[in-house]
């Protein structure tokens, strides 16, 4: 049975979701969609607000997807704050929250997996085998269930966004995908649900990620084209903070293949371990105009 607050309808099942979305569409409303794994923060709320600018009906999903975790402890420790999530979603402009059980997303007999393809093989794909296949599969299912006009994703997960854009294009999924710029704390740290697991000292060390990326940005703006120089600018900050690094790599923004020279639109991506927490961040770079 659908639960409704003054501003937010909570759907727990596929049938309840369909009823809520069908009612919105029958009323002539366009539908925006923000998929999340919960533990909502200002970054998620920004996505919801962006959706609410263009759509009278905004669906937010809250589902911690087990198939995109290759580390059981990471799944177990992923923060779950559903009651607060509903409040934050409603405050940002969401009208429908879809908070399903695992059985609703993966019912008996579910057997299909999307292979994310070449764009998923580098960076996160290399360090988290199976992650992007699991992510792509659940996002494709959610897009099919919600049937939104536009779905909104943060650019902090730049490779994830590229994977989603690829399979939506390939499978002719009618929902348009809209990327939204990374939301940062006042000191530059990219907002992430994992940040709440950082001890105070580690929270300060985590600033090395954004500090390094901003240093690389300044170099690129000044005309630096060497990938090695840009990557080194990031690595220097990570090393100074003694953060074990999975990668600090300049890649093509479309293919996510490493490049040697900043001669097109690129993404400088970084992943590092801060205490028990693994964080990712990135910036988009383009050659400085001559």
What was the pLDDT predicted at 95?
98
Separation of alpha carbons 174 and 149, rounded Å: 7
Domains of the chain: 3-180 (3.40.50.620), 193-283 (3.30.1300.10)
**pTM of this prediction?**
0.94
Separation of alpha carbons 285 and 287, rounded Å: 7
Bridge partners of 282, per DSSP, are: 269
What was the pLDDT predicted at 180?
98
User: Do residues 132 and 125 lie in contact, with contact meaning Cβ atoms separated by under 8 Å?
Assistant: yes
By C-alpha distance, which of 35, 38, 34 is closest to 50?
34
Separation of alpha carbons 89 and 7, rounded Å: 10
What was the pLDDT predicted at 3?
59
What was the pLDDT predicted at 289?
72
What was the pLDDT predicted at 73?
74
Distances (CA, A) of 149 to 77, 158, 287: 33, 21, 34
What was the pLDDT predicted at 78?
77
Bridge partners of 152, per DSSP, are: 178
User: Buried (b) or exposed (e) across 129-167, using 16+ Cβ within 10 A?
Assistant: eebbbbbbbbbbbbbebbbbbbbbbbbbbbbbbbbbebb
Q: Characterise 251 by phi-psi region: left (phi > 0), alpha (psi -120 to 50), beta (else).
A: beta
What was the pLDDT predicted at 290?
44
User: Which residue ranges of the chain lie beneath pLDDT 50?
Assistant: 290
| Catalytic residue set | 44
């Amino acid at each position: 049975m659908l639960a409704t607050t003054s501003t937010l309808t909570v759907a727990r099942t596929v049938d309840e979701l369909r009823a809520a979305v069908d009612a919105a569409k029958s009323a002539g409303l366009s539908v925006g969609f923000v998929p999340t794994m919960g533990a909502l923060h200002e970054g998620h709320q920004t996505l919801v607000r962006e959706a609410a600018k263009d759509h009278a009906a905004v669906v937010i999903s809250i589902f911690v997807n087990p198939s995109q975790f290759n580390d059981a402890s990471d799944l177990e420790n992923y923060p779950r704050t559903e009651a607060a999530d509903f409040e934050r979603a409603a405050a940002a402009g969401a009208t429908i929250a879809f908070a399903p059980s695992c059985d609703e997303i993966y019912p008996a007999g579910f057997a299909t997996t999307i292979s994310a393809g070449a764009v998923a093989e580098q960076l996160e794909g290399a360090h988290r085998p199976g992650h992007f296949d699991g992510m792509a599969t659940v996002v494709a299912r959610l897009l099919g269930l919600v049937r939104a006009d536009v779905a909104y994703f943060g650019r902090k997960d730049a490779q994830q966004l590229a994977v989603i854009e690829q399979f939506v294009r390939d499978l002719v999924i009618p929902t348009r995908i809209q990327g939204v710029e990374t939301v940062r704390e006042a000191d530059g740290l990219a907002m992430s649900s994992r940040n709440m697991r950082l001890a105070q000292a580690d929270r300060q060390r985590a600033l090395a990620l954004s500090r390094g990326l901003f240093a690389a940005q300044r170099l690129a703006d000044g005309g630096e084209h060497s990938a090695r120089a840009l990557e080194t600018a990031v690595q220097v900050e990570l090393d100074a903070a003694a953060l074990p690094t999975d990668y600090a790599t300049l890649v093509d923004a479309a293919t996510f293949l490493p490049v040697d020279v900043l001669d097109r639109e690129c993404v400088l991506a970084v992943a590092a371990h801060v205490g028990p927490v693994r964080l990712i961040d990135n910036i988009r770079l383009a050659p400085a105009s001559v």
